[in-house]
């Protein structure tokens, strides 16, 4: 993975344009320590930059920005295309000649032939920009599931884009005005929901979308979305289908010219990745895990047992409150936008990189695709009871207002929020997954931005799919996974110059299994995944789900107190559970660094 950036305009002098693009490149240097490059068009309309983490074709032939032989097309690309060898072979049969062993060159050739439709041929994670030096157009695209981020700022005829928000801000061109929509979204959910950011005017290109710039005008198009239309299939057929798709995805995600490691928590998803990797790969497998002194949170022993069963070269790193406290300032500086998550990936990424590994696989995505969260049972129940209470609409609304304002627990406040809305899956999801209720988030947002209008309660914009459980799956994939888990994984792994791959978040895998009826695919306890990977030890899946969490509550009450004691927040807002205090502390640090 790498860092990409660019400026498209016709209003800058060449010297100024070069200065601006160099600032952007410097802001992304951590994403690509192996190489860097800049291209500025002769007419001064385009400047694109790249910082490279070399994974495929480690030679200078992989240098970016990369151009076609005639100099017409120039690309800056972040990500990996796992089917590039197959695509390359097909292009060679059509007479194309290649000068490198990179996936980047394959994308260029595809764009030459197919234009914007090239993205439909790509299997992988990507954010890319291609400048057409003849037509004076630029094509930008983001992968279907949003694994790689792509931010942009459009003002007048100028378009600025980058892998991280900080690179756009480094130009000094956007005025740093906080976004009330981004702030409210963060307070409600714990992450800034795309397409918003915390800066007004800077947007995140939605997953599965491309953007075209020409003469200062933008065109946006959605080229992919998940389809949960179910087919008739038996349980044994579904198991076989999932197993074949999983093995295929694992094999593709090992395509690399450097060693590939695996994050191992000891849970079902990461153990499944290890088990399937052992089946498909010969030789050494490196695994990495975190352990704690606090026994209630420590899964180190389970991870060690998994590593022993599958014969991996295992590295365990014990994180104490003191060591975590030392790492916390760097973590805060790493965050491109505030989040209530990410510190776990930040720590384990450091371990892998210190061990000399440049690429790792993660089990992220298994819960969303196979129904591993309590939300798959709880949210449909909330919708059912909400519809029952809808007959008493006035009482229901008054009860909701009372709970939101006077409820003693944060759960009751969010339940009150839900009761004041139509009982949809989206409303129930926001309540179940939420951090602060609408009323609390509005008060905090007004505290930060007193001169802006208060935000309104979010409306239901989701598209209906075949079952309530499929709707929950869609929300978990497009909100929690995309806005938080994937974004945090990208930023925190790239802080150490590490490429993180997610074989369970694969376009072909998702397209293959999304047609399996939710009654099979989302059966409680991730039964379909367990049955599709019979190599899983019983003692891995026959224990309570724990998740990859840290003992933050104890640490915040102890050695980390000074980071969390002076929270800028209205006094009547409850700061328990711990993640509320965390969310506001991280927001406050980011705000003081970027906004103040």
Which residue, 505, 526, 503, is CA-closest to 374?
Answer: 526
Q: How far apart are CA 137 and CA 174, in angstroms?
A: 22
One DSSP character per residue, 39-54 reads EE-TTSSEEEEEEE--
The DSSP output letter for 525 is T
For 139, phi then psi, to 5°, come to -110, 125
Catalytic residue, chosen from 2, 118, 138, 204, is 2
Q: How far apart are CA 221 and CA 161, in angstroms?
A: 17
Dihedral sign computed on CA atoms, order 498, 499, 503, 507: positive
For 116, phi then psi, to 5°, come to -60, -25
End-to-end CA distance of the chain: 32
Burial 442-458 (b: 16+ CB within 10 A, else e): bbbbbebbeeeeebebb
Q: Two tokens at 407?
A: 């409820």
Q: How far apart are CA 523 and CA 566, in angstroms?
A: 44
Annotation marks residue 204 as catalytic: no
Q: How far apart are CA 25 and CA 36, in angstroms?
A: 8
Residues in CB range of 144: below 8 A, 6 or more apart: 207, 208, 223, 224, 507
Q: How far apart are CA 358 and CA 286, in angstroms?
A: 12
Which residue, 552, 585, 543, is CA-closest to 344?
Answer: 552
Integer-rounded Cα Rg, in Å, for the chain is 24
One DSSP character per residue, 251-302 reads HHHT--SS-EEEE--SSHHHHHHHHHHHHH--S--EEEEEE-SSTTT--HHH
Q: How far apart are CA 393 and CA 260, in angstroms?
A: 56
Q: How far apart are CA 58 and CA 258, in angstroms?
A: 9
Pairing of strands 158-162, 260-263: unpaired
Burial 410-439 (b: 16+ CB within 10 A, else e): beebbbbbbbbbebbbbbbbbbbbbbbbbb
Which residue, 359, 326, 365, 283, is CA-closest to 548?
Answer: 365
Q: How far apart are CA 484 and CA 475, in angstroms?
A: 12
User: Any idea which residue has 């190599």 for tokens?
Assistant: 535
Catalytic residues: 2
């Amino acid at each position: 993975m790498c860092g990409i950036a660019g400026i498209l305009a016709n209003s800058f002098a060449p010297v100024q344009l070069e200065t601006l693009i160099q600032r952007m490149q410097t802001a992304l240097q951590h994403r690509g320590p192996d190489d860097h490059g800049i291209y500025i068009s002769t007419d001064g309309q385009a400047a694109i930059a790249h910082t490279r983490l070399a994974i495929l074709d480690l030679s200078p032939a992989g240098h970016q920005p990369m151009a076609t032989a005639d100099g017409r097309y120039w690309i800056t690309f972040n990500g990996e295309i796992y089917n590039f060898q197959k695509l390359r072979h097909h292009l060679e049969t059509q007479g194309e000649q290649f000068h490198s062993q990179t996936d980047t060159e394959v994308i260029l050739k595809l764009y030459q032939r197919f234009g914007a439709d090239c993205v439909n041929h790509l299997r992988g994670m990507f954010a890319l920009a291609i400048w057409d030096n003849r037509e004076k157009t630029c094509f930008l695209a983001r992968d279907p599931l949003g694994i790689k981020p792509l931010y942009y700022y459009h003002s007048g005829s100028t378009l600025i884009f980058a892998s991280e928000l900080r690179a756009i801000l480094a130009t000094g061109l956007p005025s740093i005005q906080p976004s009330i929509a981004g702030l409210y979204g963060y307070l409600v959910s714990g992450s800034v929901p795309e397409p918003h950011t915390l800066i007004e005017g800077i947007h995140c290109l939605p997953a599965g979308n491309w953007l075209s710039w020409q003469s200062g005008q933008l065109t946006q198009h959605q080229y992919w979305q998940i389809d949960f239309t179910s087919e008739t299939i038996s349980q044994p057929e579904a198991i076989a289908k999932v197993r074949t798709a999983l093995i295929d995805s694992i094999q593709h995600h090992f395509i690399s010219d450097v060693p590939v490691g695996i994050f191992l928590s000891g849970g079902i998803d990461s153990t499944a990745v290890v088990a399937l990797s052992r089946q498909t790969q010969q030789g050494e497998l490196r695994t990495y895990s975190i352990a704690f002194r606090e026994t209630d949170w420590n899964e180190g022993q389970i991870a060690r047992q998994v590593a022993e069963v599958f014969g991996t070269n295992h590295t365990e790193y014990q994180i104490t409150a003191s060591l975590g406290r030392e790492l916390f300032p760097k973590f805060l500086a790493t965050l491109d936008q505030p989040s209530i998550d990410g510190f776990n990936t930040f720590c384990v990424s450091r371990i892998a990189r210190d061990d000399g590994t440049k690429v790792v696989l993660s089990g992220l995505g298994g819960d969303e695709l196979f129904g591993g969260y309590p939300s798959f049972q709880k949210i449909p129940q909330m919708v059912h009871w909400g519809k029952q209470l809808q007959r008493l609409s006035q009482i229901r609304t008054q009860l909701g207002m009372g709970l939101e304002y006077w409820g003693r627990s944060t759960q009751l406040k969010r339940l009150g929020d839900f009761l004041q809305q139509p009982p949809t899956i989206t409303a129930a999801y926001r309540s179940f997954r939420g951090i602060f209720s609408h009323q609390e988030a509005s008060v905090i947002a007004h505290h930060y931005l007193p001169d802006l209008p208060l935000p309104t309660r979010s409306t239901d914009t989701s598209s209906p799919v075949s079952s309530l459980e499929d709707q929950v799956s869609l929300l978990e994939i497009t909100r929690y996974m995309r806005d938080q888990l994937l974004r945090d994984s990208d930023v925190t792994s790239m802080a150490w110059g590490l490429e993180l791959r997610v074989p369970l978040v694969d376009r072909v895998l998702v397209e293959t299994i999304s047609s399996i009826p939710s009654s099979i695919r989302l059966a409680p306890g991730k039964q379909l995944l367990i049955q599709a990977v019979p190599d899983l030890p019983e003692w891995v899946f026959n224990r309570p789900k724990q998740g990859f969490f840290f003992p933050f509550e104890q640490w915040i009450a102890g050695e980390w107190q000074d980071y969390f004691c002076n929270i800028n927040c209205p006094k009547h807002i409850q700061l328990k559970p711990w993640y509320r205090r965390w969310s506001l502390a991280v927001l406050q640090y980011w705000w003081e660094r970027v906004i103040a």
